[in-house]
Amino acid sequence: MEFTISFFITDAVLAATLKDLFEDGIIDRKSYDEIPPPVKLFLTEKGKSVVPILRGICEWSDIFYKEDSENTMTQYQKCDHRR
């Protein structure tokens, strides 16, 4: 599965975050011998074990979420537990 996500963070912050996730065993990477060299990131078993917890947080947030024009809440598509 390939997808691209746009975040409003700097490359340095993204690189540091990915490095931390890699060092903590949450993600792993696979490199390919191509030019330019693509790198695929994927969840490890440890990373996959966090998914139900994150889904639970999404469900919990729905309980307390109220429509409010001043404080809007954006829900990322992959976090939508109803799908």
What pLDDT, on the 0 to 100 scale, is given for residue 1? 47
What pLDDT, on the 0 to 100 scale, is given for residue 79? 54
Q: Identify which of 50, 47, 76 has the alpha carbon closest to the alpha carbon of residue 61.
A: 76
User: Could you read off the pLDDT tens digit of each residue along the chain, which spans 83 residues?
Assistant: 455 556 678 888 888 999 999 999 999 999 888 888 888 999 999 999 999 998 898 888 777 665 555 655 555 455 554 44
Q: Would you call 1 exposed, middle or buried from its count of C-beta atoms within 10 A (0-12, 13-18, 19+)?
A: exposed
In the chain the beta strands, taken as DSSP E runs, fall at: 27-31, 39-43
pTM of the model: 0.61
Backbone dihedral region for residue 16 (phi beyond 0: left; psi -120 to 50: alpha; all else: beta): alpha
CATH class of 1-44: mainly alpha
Task: Name the maximum alpha-carbon separation found in the chain.
Answer: 50
Q: Where are the domains of the chain?
A: 1-44, 50-83
What pLDDT, on the 0 to 100 scale, is given for residue 7? 64
